[in-house]
Amino acid sequence: MPKIVVVGSFVVGITFGVSRMPAVGETLIGDSFDLGPGGKGTNQAIGAARLDAQVNLLACVGDDIFADMALGIYKKEGLLLDHIHRMSNINTGVGVVTLMPDGKNWIIGDFGANFLMTPAHVDAAEALIAQSDIVMSQFEVPPETVVRAMELGRKHGAMTIWNPAPAKAVIPDLLANVDLLTPNETEVRILLGLAPDDPTPTLDLAQRLFALGVERIVVTKGKDGAQIVTSDGSEEIPAVEITPVDPTGAGDCFNAALAVALGQGKSLTEAVREGTYAGAYSATHLGVIDGLPTRRELDEFISKT
């Protein structure tokens, strides 16, 4: 059972389905509604726990009813809660999504308590990190907090995995202690301060990231699978052929399965393959949490696909 510490976020997703966008000043009645837990840290932590890892999540929530939702689902999913911090006088992270029939959406988010997570919160979990196999984080908490998580993971010999989403250009120090970086094709460019569609080949970009301290890179490519880049070369892992229903959260599911497989001692190639199957499984289900497979569900999906 791999021991994984996730330093990440909790965000409530509030989604309205609408036939069109409203005009300024108009009240538009939607045709569907959904409210559910999310945030990359939460998604990845639950995903790893369902695949039989022992997961500790370090997260900050507010002092509202959404914090109660977070604690409830963490308990239900078997996450260890010693480092869930309930912050006063601030809201829990929330995102409001307006979803059109063609799949296009508009999102307004307030990360609230997530942005109050500090390196001191990570320091308080150092003993836990020292006992872990893997420390993983995303970019929905402050950069200095991610830096500290990667530093302590490296210090104590845990594998450090950073999923740099949502992407922004970063200072070089953030990458110095990252064993495995898992961006998508857009994020790998934004990290280096380039345009999202910059034509520079991914292999060239990887060399720049290696120079900043990153050990290995896995670039997720959606329907085109994933690309592993190391100092020894590059390897393409094909995608799993599916009919997608809802791709939201597939990247988080991929990262969760990748981390668990690596924690089990599998090679990077084997782990990325398992991650692609997990991401595909997620994309065939409606909703992020509902699309995170258990160990049995993922093994059955792999055997049948």
| Helical residues (DSSP H) of 30-118, grouped into ranges | 40-50, 65-77
Contacts of 120 (CB under 8 A, 6+ apart): none
Catalytic residue at 224? no
In DSSP terms, which residues pair with 35 in a beta bridge?
14
Contacts of 288 (CB under 8 A, 6+ apart): 13, 36, 38, 43, 248, 249, 252, 282
What is the token pair recorded at 85?
């911090």
Q: With H, G, I as helix, E, B as strand and everything else as coil, classify residue 165.
A: coil
Q: Which of 82, 102, 252, 290 is catalytic?
A: 252
Q: Is 172 left (phi over 0), alpha (psi -120 to 50) or beta?
A: alpha
What is the token pair recorded at 237?
């892992």
d(CA 32, CA 185): 32
Sheet holding 93-99, edge to edge: 32-38, 11-17, 93-99, 105-110
- Which sequence positions are flagged as catalytic? 252
